Amino acid sequence: MAHSFLIDECLTPELARLAHWSGHLATSLRDRGWCGLPDREVVRRAVEGNFTLVTNNSVDFRGSNPPAPGGLFALEELHAGLICLNSAMGPMRREVQKAAFAVALDSLPGDLTNRAIEVTAQHSGFVLVEYALPLN
């Protein structure tokens, strides 16, 4: 199943190419001229465009303690999914972003509706967690 991704401005737009190479559709906030939009507006555009948002601004979009409720996506009754790329080692370099997104792409469920996937880069590799958002 092909997914449509919206890459947040905090990540490299090169992630869109990775998605395309994996058979998915993708665009970025930068490509659309949407840089600087408030997070609520990013969520609105992702929901209206049926995009799965890919971000490393995890706290604002999924809440502070996954899978506890919170964050802007928890307020949405229906959305096409959220992918959070995190780092336990400080800021994510471009190479780490691409590797983390590749892990997410390799682990995608058929349907991301109201689902969140978190990929966290650690010194020993990547940890992937999937959960419902909002919690049912």
Decide: residue 105, CB within 10 A, 0-12 exposed, 13-18 middle, 19+ buried. buried
- The tally of domains found in the chain comes to 1
Q: What is the tens place of the pLDDT at every residue in 87-126?
A: 988 889 999 999 999 999 999 988 999 999 999 999 999 9
Indicate the helix (H) or strand (E) that contains 121.
Answer: strand 115-122
Q: Which two tokens stand for residue 95?
A: 């190479």
The pTM (predicted TM-score) of the whole model is 0.93
CA dist., res. 101 & res. 86, Å (int): 10
β-pairing, 115-122 vs 125-132, is: antiparallel
Indicate the helix (H) or strand (E) that contains 12.
Answer: none
Q: Which residue has the higher pLDDT, 109 or 6?
A: 6
Domain assignment of residue 8, given as a range: 4-132
